[in-house]
Amino acid sequence: MDHHHEFVTNLDQSDFRILEDGSIQEIRYFGRETDLPLRIGILLDTSNSIRPRLEFEKEAALDFLQSVIRRNKDQAFLMTFDNEPEVIQDYTGDLALLTDAIRKQRAGGGTALNDAIYRAAEKLSNPPLPKGPNNEVRRVLVVISDGDDNLSDHALSESVEAALRSEAAIYCVSTNTDWLSISGDKPKKLHLEPGDQVLEKFADQSGGRVFYPYKVEDLAQSFIDIGNELRSQYFIAYAPSNAESNGKYRKIEVQTDRKNLDVRTRRGYYATTPKNPLVPSSK
């Protein structure tokens, strides 16, 4: 993206450089993916702490799905989390089913955000795939929450690791309005609370984004942008010069020679076989 946060779509392979753990890698394939089917997990915080903002959460989730889901192509599931995560609606492309499930939700209980991310990553690791020879999909988690957690069995680091193993990009909508300035064209966060910092980490590590809206209307253009972003990707492949599959984390850095551009990508991956993507790495 450029400094105006507009997509830059005219880059070629020669404009990119890939580093893994600091070592330059040879790019083996370069292309643009503009129409991938989406597999989306909607994570709705229904804990007691967000009770005053629950209606906002519902409307935000509905607006996102209506902006992004394409009939007969994309699918989503709905998961809520309070004391524990629960799948309310499994994968479907039926907006009516998703809408009905979202509108029925009520708030109460503690918050198990990390457990929800972990379980949603498991579902995204094995999504329903399109029929035909091309079965590639784009995996996405949309988390609508204040970022607080007081009940999870999984640590934050475990949940981040699970999301990376599932290859899901995490987009977060914060329900926390503390330190939120609503002057100007759109709301601006002046200070990140601890919960906001958690959401930022999930998004930053997975190549997603965090939004700090004051009202649902603030999200309208953002959701349209996310839909375009998810379907309009550069796809760059390389065979790691380090061929050892030891399950350890490897840092990826994507650079471009073009000035004043922001490259958004996942920050790394776990060097393991795809058969058991959520098996923790050896320490």
Tokens of 52: 């005053």
250 and 225 in a common domain: no
Angle (CA) 117-132-224 rounded to 5° is 50
Domain at 105, CATH number: 3.40.50.410
The pLDDT, as a whole number, for residue 221 is: 79
117 and 255 in a common domain: no
pTM for this structure? 0.86
Q: Judging by DSSP bridges, how do beta strands 23-25 and 27-33 pair with one another?
A: unpaired
Question: Rounded to an integer, what distance in angstroms lies between the CA atom of residue 139 and that of residue 275?
Answer: 17
The pLDDT, as a whole number, for residue 215 is: 92
205 and 88 in a common domain: yes
Q: Which amino acid makes up residue 4?
A: H
Do residues 128 and 72 touch, judged by C-beta distance below 8 A? no
68 and 198 in a common domain: yes
Task: Select from 268, 257, 188, 263 the least CA-distant residue to 229.
Answer: 263
pLDDT per residue, tens digit, the chain (283 aa), is 888 877 788 899 999 999 999 999 999 999 887 788 999 999 999 999 999 999 999 999 999 999 999 999 999 999 999 999 999 999 999 999 999 999 999 999 999 999 999 999 999 999 999 988 888 899 999 999 999 999 999 999 999 999 999 999 999 999 999 999 998 888 999 999 999 999 999 999 999 999 999 999 999 878 887 887 787 788 899 999 999 988 899 999 999 989 899 998 889 988 876 554 455 444 3
222 and 245 in a common domain: no
Range of the domain at 65: 38-231
220 and 136 in a common domain: yes
Q: Into how many domains does the chain fold?
A: 2
244 and 133 in a common domain: no
Do residues 265 and 251 touch, judged by C-beta distance below 8 A? no
166 and 274 in a common domain: no
The pLDDT, as a whole number, for residue 273 is: 65
The pLDDT, as a whole number, for residue 4 is: 81
110 and 50 in a common domain: yes
Q: Three-state SS for 205?
A: helix
217 and 193 in a common domain: yes
Length of the chain measured in residues: 283
Question: Rounded to an integer, what distance in angstroms lies between the CA atom of residue 131 and that of residue 263?
Answer: 32
269 and 172 in a common domain: no
149 and 9 in a common domain: no
